[in-house]
Structure 1
Amino acid sequence: MKTDLQLKKEVTEELDWDPAIDAAAIGVEVREGVVTLSGHLPSYAEKLAAEHAAEKVSGVRAVVVNLDVRPTGEFSDEAIATAARDALQWHVHVPADAIKLRVEKGRVTLTGEVEWGYQSKLAERAVSQLRGVTGVTNQIKMRMRPAPNDVVERIEAALRRHAEREAKHISVSMKEGTVTLSGRVGSRAQRLAAVGAAWSAPGVGAVVDDLELS
């Protein structure tokens, strides 16, 4: 098992490795495997990148993000709203007409109703990368429809296609449109692949990620 000191060193190195992150602006503290990131960053996208970088490091149990977003330059809420609307309109897989957005002090709130769970995630990702955005609240709901009786089997089959060995260690259950994933995976990439497979299944309105990194 890695010590907290070793984890701090590796998280710091991972932040420095990513060219999209200003590692010098981020403080790293580790206690019992829990990483805390603190500091001020110029974009919400960089904040997300820092969080994901810390999660990549083997041995990290959890990440606490105390990073403030302070955009460089002046961005009015009206300008951000226009850019966000354009981003949704241009994204081929996002039903922009079904999504409404509100911007307050740089924070974008998404509402509406979509057919598929993955569309909600794509909409959130699209606006997260925009200049001036300080945060995103995703309140998009999925239009409820009956899930196929074999939806769990479909998700398990998708997991096997992505990584057959890791799929053996993942348990899938579903209740009232919510899929719960439990078990162990070897990396954050495998974790994201498992969650993505669950979101892509028909009738899935929420995904609970109880997967642990081994």
Structure 2
Amino acid sequence: MKTDLQLKKEVLDELDWDPSLDAAAIGVEVNEGVVTLSGHLPSYAEKLAAERAAEKVSGVRGVVVNLEVRPASVPSDEAIANAARDALQWHVHLPPDAVKLRVEKGWITLAGEVEWGYQRKVAERTVSHLRGVTGVTNLIKMHARVAPADVVERIEAALRRHAEREARHISISMKDGTVTLSGHVGTRAERLAAVGAAWSAPGVGAVVDNLELG
């Protein structure tokens, strides 16, 4: 098992390895395997990238993000809203006009209704990387639809297609449109694959990720 000191060094190395990040602007502390990131970055996209970088390191049990977004140049809320609206309209996986948005001091709030759970994630990811965005709140809802009776089996089959060995260590349950994943995975990539498979299933409105790394 890695010590907190080892984890801190590896997280710092991973942050420094990512060309999209200014690692010098990020402070790292580790306590019993839980990493805390602090400091300020010029974009929300970099904040997300820093969190992903820390999660990639083997042995990290959790990540606390205390990073503040301070854009170097601050577009007006109107400019951000127009850019976000255009990005959503042009995205092939989002129905036209299905997603509404509001911007306040760079913070985007998404609302509306979509057919699939994965479309909620697509909308959030689309606006998260725009210049001047300081954060995103996703209030998009799904149209009420009954999940197929075999939805858990479908998710399990998708996981086996991705990585059969890892699928054996993941437990899946579903209630009222919410899928809960529990168990263990070896890497962050396996975790993302499991969560992605759950989001892609019909009738899924939320995914609770209780998977542990290691």
Instruction: Name the residue aligned to 1:78.
Output: 78
Alignment of 1:134-213 (within 5 A): 134-213=134-213
Query: Does the 8 Å CA contact 1:144/1:205 hold for their aligned counterparts?
Result: no
Residue 11 of structure 2 corresponds to residue 7 of structure 1: no
Alignment of 1:16-35 (within 5 A): 16-35=16-35
Once the two structures are TM-superposed, the CA of residue 60 in structure 1 deviates from its matched residue by: 0.6
- In 1, the alpha carbon distance for the partners of 2:74 and 2:6 equals 40
Once the two structures are TM-superposed, the CA of residue 167 in structure 1 deviates from its matched residue by: 0.4
Instruction: Name the residue aligned to 2:128.
Output: 128
Alignment of 1:73-112 (within 5 A): 73-112=73-112
SS at match of 1:147: coil
Query: Does the 8 Å CA contact 1:99/1:110 hold for their aligned counterparts?
Result: yes
Supply the AA of the counterpart residue of 1:196.
Answer: G
TM-score (normalised: structure 1): 0.99
- In 2, the alpha carbon distance for the partners of 1:183 and 1:32 equals 20
> C-alpha offsets along residues 114-147 of structure 1, whole Å, 9 cap, x if unaligned?
0000000000000000000000000101111111
> C-alpha offsets along residues 158-190 of structure 1, whole Å, 9 cap, x if unaligned?
000011110011111111111011110010110
Once the two structures are TM-superposed, the CA of residue 73 in structure 1 deviates from its matched residue by: 1.1
Supply the AA of the counterpart residue of 1:36.
Answer: T
- In 1, the alpha carbon distance for the partners of 2:105 and 2:158 equals 40
Instruction: Name the residue aligned to 1:68.
Output: 68
Structure 2 gap ranges (5+): none
SS at match of 2:97: helix
TM-score (normalised: structure 2): 0.99
- In 2, the alpha carbon distance for the partners of 1:69 and 1:37 equals 13
Structure 1 runs of 4+ aligned residues shifted over 3 Å read none
SS at match of 2:180: strand
> C-alpha offsets along residues 6-56 of structure 1, whole Å, 9 cap, x if unaligned?
000000000000000100110111111111111110000000000000001
Supply the AA of the counterpart residue of 1:201.
Answer: A
Once the two structures are TM-superposed, the CA of residue 94 in structure 1 deviates from its matched residue by: 1.4
Instruction: Name the residue aligned to 2:114.
Output: 114
Query: Does the 8 Å CA contact 1:95/1:119 hold for their aligned counterparts?
Result: no
Give the fraction of aligned pairs with identical amino acids, expressed as a percent: 83
Instruction: Name the residue aligned to 2:41.
Output: 41
Query: Does the 8 Å CA contact 1:156/1:167 hold for their aligned counterparts?
Result: yes
Question: How many residues align structurally?
Answer: 214
Once the two structures are TM-superposed, the CA of residue 96 in structure 1 deviates from its matched residue by: 3.7
